Every structure is written in C-alpha cells, then in structure tokens.
Amino acid sequence: MRRTRIMRRSRHHTLKDIGLGKIKNAVSIRERPAETEDRAVPGQWEGDLLYGDGNSQIATLVERQTRYFMLVKVARKDSETVVNALIKHARKLPQDLYKSLTWDRGIEMAQHKHFTLATDMQVYFCDPQHPWQRGSNENTNGLLRQYFLKA
C-alpha cells in the first residue's frame, strides 16, 4: 500500500557510518604549503558555493594575496557541473595565477581530483565545521549576500 508519510527512523540513526556526504581523498588544509599562510605569493585561492533564491548558485573564488575575487555562474549544484564550470573559468587567467584552491567540505567538490588533473591546481579542504579557515572567502560571501539573497 502507498503511504503518504515518510519512513520513520530512530533519533539515534545516522548516515555517517555509510559514508554519505564525505569527500574521498580530501587533502586537509593543514597540508598547504607555508607560502599560502603568509599570503606572500599570489595564486592561492579560496572558494565556496553560494546558494541564492530558487535554483540559483554562484561559485565564488577569492585570491588570498590581492583579495581579487571572481564569480562563476553555475547551472546546478551537483559536483560535475560545479567542477566543469570552475575548470572552464580557471583557463581564462594565466597558469601562474593558479597554484592552489581551498574549499569547504561541500559535496559540490567531490570530483576535486578531476579538477586537479584538468587545471594542475591542488585542492585543499577545511576541517569539518570550520569555514573560518577560509577567511577571505567568508568575508566576500558575507558582502555578496546583500545582493544575492536566499529565499
């Protein structure tokens, strides 16, 4: 028989044990080169995906030294679409300006290995629930929220 309500679960049941929502082979932010921390060399980027009204998304990229930021319009929030949009956008600037990318733990970068192979740019991930480790990007996202509102 059909049921109109969803299946009930114990409040102790989680999906953590089966590996959903985890990024495989993620390289920690702690493994970034030392030159990234002091912002001495350009080419170290921070990124995130902003969700807007309805079905709209924008990937934000902020360069750590110069604070130069780029917005990448993304059609859907699945990993393949986001990674392909970032690859296409990464080819617009010289290769010297792309050395590393630090992203949060969002599942939209699950195909980070494909991005690294296509752009020769290593992707590092923040610790879980530590978005402030990408301070430049979080600040920029806060400023963009004035114009790119959520529903």
pLDDT of 78 reads: 92
Closest CA to 61 of 93, 31, 16, 35: 93
Sign of the torsion angle spanned by Cα atoms 48, 139, 129, 41? positive
User: Hey, where are the domains in the chain?
Assistant: 26-144
Please, which residues bridge with residue 58 across strands?
50, 73
Strands 69-74 and 57-63, how do they pair? antiparallel
pLDDT of 53 reads: 84
Residue 18: other Cβ atoms inside 10 A: 8
pLDDT average per 10 residues of sequence, the chain (151 residues) = 66 61 84 84 91 89 91 93 94 87 90 93 90 89 86 63
26-144: which CATH topology?
Nucleotidyltransferase; domain 5 (3.30.420)
Determine if the pTM surpasses 0.85.
no
